[in-house]
Amino acid sequence: MRILYLGDVVGRSGRDAVIAALPGLRERLKLDFVIVNGENSAHGFGITARICEDFFEAGVDVLTTGNHAWDQREILSYIDSEPRLLRPANYPPGTPGRGSGIYAAPRGKKVMVVQVMGRLFMDALDDPFQAIEAEFARQRLGATVDALIVDIHGEATSEKMSMGHFCDGRASLVVGTHSHIPTADAQVLPNGTAYQTDAGMCGDYDSVIGMRKEPAIARFVRKVPGERLSPAEGEATICGIFVETDNTTGLAKRAEPVRLGGRLHEYLPDV
């Protein structure tokens, strides 16, 4: 299978870029499945039902979120009725929505997507490693599902890398989100799991992690509350990771970064 994971979409610039480019990317990369982190797509804070529908219409199969999952209050009711929109699985019991799902892919294949949120420098949630272990106890790569993707939404590179090695051989892909900066470590780990510490963002890189530069810089320089942060609106770069899996085991055969448009050096895998 050929799978594309796109990192955190920030604001209208990132949203419009992903929606415009995705049909062409699906054709060019011969994609079977697309996952997008959309938690900053509503003016930088959360996601709305209308934005979710726009992504699905453009060809996104699953949306993940993170610590900004609840910034748009309307999502509290929508997420319960839309299985293609995930929030971290290690939120406490009773939290709206779901942290994982199994989805249909071409040729009768099944793809499982799981999201967890890290705990270092983040909200104090339940143990993400135990949450992943519980998901692995219910579904097994190459047996009950044909691909298994883990999104770890977190600050610390050490925690994300630990999750990658923890899942190695049991997941098709472990990818980090949240930092909005693409890391240069896309690889296949020793036991066959594709990995990247952070997929980066889909947004304007002439910014501070997707937000307008001036208010963000002022917060550091002046150390007083100032103008509310808002997304930069220049041309977006689409960032993510492309993974090709083995049809028998579900493990990764290749993992390569994806960068398209905007300010960063462009890179698209050859297929």
**Predicted pLDDT at 225:** 77
| Mean pLDDT score of the chain | 96
On the question of pLDDT at 224 being above 90, the answer is: no
Rounded to an integer, the average pLDDT of 70-81 is 95
Rounded to an integer, the average pLDDT of 21-28 is 97
Nearest one of 66, 44, 55, 72 to 16, comparing CA atoms: 55
pLDDT bracket for residue 19 (50, 70, 90): very high
**Predicted pLDDT at 228:** 86
pLDDT tens for each residue of 106-132: 999 999 999 999 999 998 899 999 999
pLDDT bracket for residue 138 (50, 70, 90): very high
Looking at the chain, how many residues does it have? 271
Rounded to an integer, the average pLDDT of 78-86 is 97
What is the percentage of the chain residues whose pLDDT exceeds 70?
Answer: 100
Burial per residue of 108-140, b for 16 or more beta-carbon CB atoms within 10 angstroms, e otherwise? ebebbbbbbbbbeebeebbebbebbeebbeeee
Q: Kindly name the residue from 43, 68, 153, 165 that is annotated as catalytic.
A: 68
**Predicted pLDDT at 216:** 93
Rounded to an integer, the average pLDDT of 176-180 is 97
Question: What is the secondary structure of 190-206 as a DSSP string?
Answer: TTS-EEES----BB-SS
| Domain chopping of the chain, boundaries | 2-260
- Told to judge if 68 belongs to the known catalytic residues of this protein, a careful annotator would answer yes
Is residue 166 classed as helix, strand or coil in its secondary structure? helix
Superfamily of domain 2-260: Metallo-dependent phosphatases (3.60.21.10)
**Predicted pLDDT at 67:** 95
Rounded to an integer, the average pLDDT of 6-20 is 98
**Predicted pLDDT at 202:** 98
Rounded to an integer, the average pLDDT of 14-29 is 98
Looking at 83-92, 222-231, 236-245, which range is the least confident one? 222-231
Please give the single-letter amino acid code of residue 13. Answer: S
* Cα–Cα dist 260/238, whole Å: 5
pLDDT tens for each residue of 179-205: 999 999 999 999 999 999 999 999 999
**Predicted pLDDT at 223:** 81
On the question of pLDDT at 144 being above 90, the answer is: yes
Count of Cβ atoms closer than 10 Å to residue 207 Cβ: 22
Rounded to an integer, the average pLDDT of 212-228 is 88
